[in-house]
Amino acid sequence: MVVYDVAVLGGGVAAMSTAINACASLKLRTAVIQKTSKDVSVGEILPPAASAEIKLLLNWEQFTTKCALRSPGARIYWGDENGFDVDYMFGAYGDGWNIDRTHFEASLRARAEASGADIKEVFKVQSILKAIDGNWKIQFQRRSGKSTSLQARTLVVAAGARRTFSDLIGPREKHDSLVAYYRHYSGASTSQNEDVRLWLESTEFGWWYSAKLPQNRLVVAFLTDAGLFKGHPETVFESCLTSAKLTKRRIDDAKVAKINETRLCVAGTSSSISNWSHGVLAIGDSAFSTDPLRGTGIIRAMRQARLGSAAVFEHLNGDRLALERYKNILSAEFADYQKYLAAQYSREKRWQESAFWKSRRI
């Protein structure tokens, strides 16, 4: 039986980026165990600095022509209704990118496979045990119902923010109860005069983002606390949109049509960093998930994949502190993020009595 150097549990940006780094750069025998899922990935806005990470993973020409729209910046209505612009033009990396998430993830998967990663699509992971020889034995069930197993010398969890694999990376610490109601529209023009940028707009019970996407689409999301609004997501979205005047006007002016029902998902901050079992590491949202206001979940997953796969390589070559160093970098990153987030929320001083804002200000 093949013993892989590393088994990666997951199938999104973090898992596929880890596989590309592990196979293409570090020549590690890598298996990816991906659970088949109907879930649609959410999150399409990449800051300019993401370009540097993407160039290490994908063909840049193909990314810019097939996966992404160039974005010159953001328009922020936060603190008052006048708004201000964040212009990427004078930054070190140039434009940001609004991506077609499905296409982007498919490109990462294709690159991981082309680099030699063995991708196993599974229906269910049945058990994960550490054997006496130190190898991990992972038993899983295929969609056909057949059970099979593989062995690996190290284990990476990159399966997102849900409470999966808590026996390996421990229980997650939840820091808030943020949720997102989101929708995609089609028919948005992407002519040169159109505003492709990310828009943020704060309202009394949460905040909104919207952005133009490839294939003439527009994404619109409302971030609020779980339990603040009862009712069907469709109704909550429509009724709350009336208080987001600028976002509503953007949708109306774009003359777009809704292409899917409003979806609801968890969007808050949670972390597993302090609880990982010895010899296991987590990458991307499995390590910690951040408020979409930060807008860096994808770049973070790609960066952690690069650092995490290097840590696995060093660990396999006898460096006993490599995994601990990786964990320390993430702990510092998470502490910085928490300070940043509180400062951003504190910039909105209206609605002093709103429970949503009160709980987030410093």
Ligand X SMILES: Cc1cc2nc3c(=O)[nH]c(=O)nc-3n(C[C@H](O)[C@H](O)[C@H](O)COP(=O)(O)OP(=O)(O)OC[C@H]3O[C@@H](n4cnc5c(N)ncnc54)[C@H](O)[C@@H]3O)c2cc1C
Nearer to ligand X, 95 or 285 (CB): 285
Give the other-Cβ count within 10 Å of 263's Cβ: 17
Determine the size of the site formed for ligand X (CB under 6 A): 38
Tell me phi and psi for residue 266, to 5 degrees: -70, 140
- Contact segment (CB under 6 A) with ligand X among 84-92, 156-164, 273-281, 351-359 equals 156-164
- 42 in contact with ligand X (CB under 6 A): yes
Cα(18)–Cα(15) distance, rounded to whole angstroms? 5
Q: 91: left (phi > 0), else alpha (psi -120 to 50), else beta?
A: beta
- 8 in contact with ligand X (CB under 6 A): no
Nearer to ligand X, 42 or 80 (CB): 42
Cα(216)–Cα(15) distance, rounded to whole angstroms? 29
Nearer to ligand X, 98 or 115 (CB): 98
Window 315 to 354, contacts with ligand X (CB under 6 A): none
Nearer to ligand X, 81 or 179 (CB): 179
**Contact residue for ligand X among 18, 21, 30, 34 (CB under 6 A):** 34
- 206 in contact with ligand X (CB under 6 A): no
Window 269 to 288, contacts with ligand X (CB under 6 A): 284-286
**Contact residue for ligand X among 48, 96, 206, 297 (CB under 6 A):** 297
Query: Site mask, ligand X, residues 96-135, x = CB under 6 A?
Result: -----------------------------x----------
Beta bridge partners of 353: none
Nearer to ligand X, 10 or 214 (CB): 10
- 12 in contact with ligand X (CB under 6 A): yes
Cα(193)–Cα(195) distance, rounded to whole angstroms? 7
Least distance to ligand X, CB of residue 287, Å: 8
Q: 64: left (phi > 0), else alpha (psi -120 to 50), else beta?
A: alpha
**Cα→Cα distances 65→9, 61, 92, Å:** 30, 6, 22
- At position 257, the amino acid (one-letter code) is A
**Contact residue for ligand X among 57, 138, 236, 267 (CB under 6 A):** 267
Nearer to ligand X, 22 or 46 (CB): 46
- 41 in contact with ligand X (CB under 6 A): yes
Nearer to ligand X, 46 or 236 (CB): 46
Window 181 to 200, contacts with ligand X (CB under 6 A): 182
Strand order in the sheet with 68-71: 45-46, 96-99, 68-71
Q: Which residue is nearest to ligand X (CB)?
A: 297
Q: Interface residues with ligand X (CB under 6 A)?
A: 9-15, 33-35, 37, 41-46, 125, 158-160, 164, 180, 182, 221, 265, 267, 284-286, 289, 292, 295-299, 301
